[in-house]
Amino acid sequence: MFVEVKARRNKKYGEAAEAMTFSKRRRIGAMALDYLAWTGRVDQRCRFDVVAIDGLGTAGQTIRIVTDAFMADGR
């Protein structure tokens, strides 16, 4: 399992989960595949989760966990 954590103090630039663009998901998937190849576990199924924290450090802080958020190819 691989976990990407995104956090935002405010919504000036959007919500934390919105920071997981297609290109970022694709790059994370490529790094995960490289890691699995390096450790000899390419045939293992892996999961990509995202932890999105909005309002970081404020009274209104929210944490959302998205399991199976995307696939290794960024979809």
Domain assignment present for 12:
yes
Is residue 75 in a domain? Answer: no
The CATH number linked to 17 is 3.40.1350.10
Tell which residue, 42, 45, 54, has the closest CA to residue 6: 54
- Asked whether residue 31 is assigned to any structural domain, the reply reads yes
What integer pLDDT is reported at residue 40 of this predicted model?
A: 95
pTM here?
0.84
Q: In this predicted model, what pLDDT tens digit does every residue of 27-71 receive, in sequence order? A: 999 999 999 999 999 888 899 999 999 999 999 999 999 999 998
User: Under DSSP, is residue 66 helix (H, G, I), strand (E, B) or coil?
Assistant: strand
Q: Give residue 13's domain range.
A: 2-70
Split into its structural domains, the chain has a count of 1
74 pLDDT more than 90: no
- Residue 68 token pair: 């199976």
Note the pLDDT of residue 44.
Answer: 87
Ramachandran area for residue 14 (φ above 0: left; ψ -120 to 50: alpha; else beta):
left
DSSP reduced 3-state for 15: coil
Euclidean distance between the first and the last CA atom of the chain, given in angstroms as a whole number? 16
